[in-house]
Chain A
């Protein structure tokens, strides 16, 4: 647990505080993302926690102990630190880079060797291929992975990450974020994460702290902040697509409903009857191998009027791709609805149909969450 009490930092020769009277608590096992425009003081806060910068006033406690009571080098050995520029030692191999902190702790060679291989695998690198390479031989994404592995080497309970995925292209960044989230779900470390990217903050954070000019503006869960931006600054910082961003917090699975009818090829003729009987809003066309291969809504049927089963099949099959994986997010579902010009999507788990989701359900979800 990290607590900051009335922490202020004024850099030498400046009158405006870089961080102004900040009080903030980061719970054990929680990822708190510091986000804000450049110069808002977010990196300064991070660097005060491992005493790379000393605060001008106020106290910082880690597990109820004032950090000024610990020798700075000792303190830092116990805190993982990842920076955007990574800062791998170019004259040391990857294995040597990762083993810096374990060597400071004086682990024996065998233990270090094992730990290095374990970490390389953990961050998705092949140990045999990577361990004796030099940093310059790796790609940007690989270097970031090594940077994260190095910070986790001695399994510190706390990690400070200053735009750790900022220096790679968006696709690699997405991968790294996903992998790190997966790791964190198991590791449950206490993480302070700095970024200027609100999307990254929403994705990575259990809590988000938004800063402006050294001042904490709003602190809360991504949902709280997206549902109730505290002021104009936060609103602007989030952007006009606030509600769409909120959709990224929920999986399609969470609002999937069962108001659909399964239609076999031989039932096409009395499809209306069957859907009425089952009170379904949408019919899912199944082929012989019980795979969903088409989708037709009540609207579609009404628009089509009285037509032959072949025509109905044609309409249904024209939306044969209007199915979405239950793990995907509501914003993906919305996008797919727009793409297929359909109020309904089928939701699948692999090839198994698990329900349908409608534009109305998404609206309903937003309305409910905004109210919370």
Chain B
């Protein structure tokens, strides 16, 4: 064990951590922006038939190992942070889309029927009834994706995406266990942080009437 190497590794943490967080946040934001509407559209009666097809495509993306996706984006998008984010988005889509669909389907049809029967427009039913009621399930999907993206994000360093993966790769190349421990350790801490943080958001956004039921 070499304490100086620890300090060296730790001194690089703020920078790499910042990049890692930015990478995760952007990928998550993009993934939510794509998946949520996909989930909503696929649960509308007119597009229901498309559902199986789209979900299968997303399933295939999900089945790809993270490393393979990262590697495959390189020839298309080149090196750097952007292709890394692209790869992470692809990985983050499925859990969010799947949970959005599950959440929306899980809304009691009687509640929708009553809302519609009172004269609420389709849009109003979606935004005032369906999405709020599906929110806990959707957020659980976002949480799954977040944790996933944090861990796959460490692979971004292979295509020069930066982040905590840089520390791990340096450690692997130089056989410096200290760098690996610091990089992996902070990666794990970040994942836990996202998981806890989002579960707090989930708790906060759960409709008040629900917490009573539970």
Contact = CB atoms under 8 A, between A and B. Distances in A.
Contact of B110 (A76, A83, A137): A83
B75 interface: no
Interface string A254-273: 00000000000000000000
Given A88-B111, A91-B208, 11 more contacts: A73-B121, A76-B117, A76-B119, A83-B117, A85-B114, A86-B110, A87-B108, A87-B114, A89-B129, A101-B119, A104-B120
Contacts, number: 78
Contacts of B108: 85, 87
A86 B118 contact: no
Interface in A124-146: 134-137
Interface residues of B, number: 24
10 contacts: A75-B119, A76-B118, A81-B117, A87-B112, A89-B209, A90-B213, A91-B133, A91-B209, A104-B119, A134-B212
B118 A90 contact: no
B114 A90 contact: no
Contacts of A137: 212
A53 B119 CA distance: 14
B139 to A, nearest CB: 14
A87 B207 CA distance: 16
A100 interface: yes
B113 A52 contact: yes
Contact of B209 (A78, A83, A100, A136): A136
Contacts of B56: none
Contacts of B114: 81, 83, 85-89, 147
Contacts of B208: 91, 134
Contacts of B120: 73, 100, 104
B127 interface: no
A150 interface: yes
Interface string A66-90: 0000000111111001010111111
B210 interface: yes
Interface string A101-131: 1001000000000000000000000000000
A342 to B, nearest CB: 50
Which A-B residue pairs are the 8 nearest by beta carbons? A87-B114, A91-B207, A77-B119, A85-B110, A134-B209, A81-B117, A76-B119, A90-B209
Contacts of B121: 73
Contacts of A73: 119-121
Nearest to A52: B117
Interface of A: 50, 52, 73-78, 81, 83, 85-92, 100-101, 104, 134-137, 147, 150-151, 160
Nearest to A134: B209
Which of B113, B132, B210 is the most central at the interface, judged by chain A CB atoms within 10 Å of its CB? B113
B203 to A, nearest CB: 14
Contacts of A76: 116-119
A89 B113 CA distance: 11
Nearest to A76: B119
Nearest to B112: A87
Contacts of B116: 52, 76
Interface in B105-139: 108, 110-121, 124, 128-129, 132-133
Contacts of B112: 87
A354 B85 CA distance: 89
Given A134-B212, A135-B209, A90 B133 contact: yes
A102 to B, nearest CB: 10
A74 B119 CA distance: 6
B119 A87 contact: no
A201 to B, nearest CB: 22
B212 A136 contact: yes
B6 to A, nearest CB: 50
Contacts of B209: 89-92, 134-136
Which of A73, A78, A137 is the most central at the interface, judged by chain B CB atoms within 10 Å of its CB? A73
Interface string B79-115: 0000000000000000000000000000010111111
Nearest to B135: A91
B210 A91 contact: yes
Contacts of A151: 118
Contacts of B207: 90-91
B179 to A, nearest CB: 48
A105 B208 CA distance: 26
Interface string B174-208: 00000000000000000000000000000000011
A279 B45 CA distance: 77
A135 B113 CA distance: 17
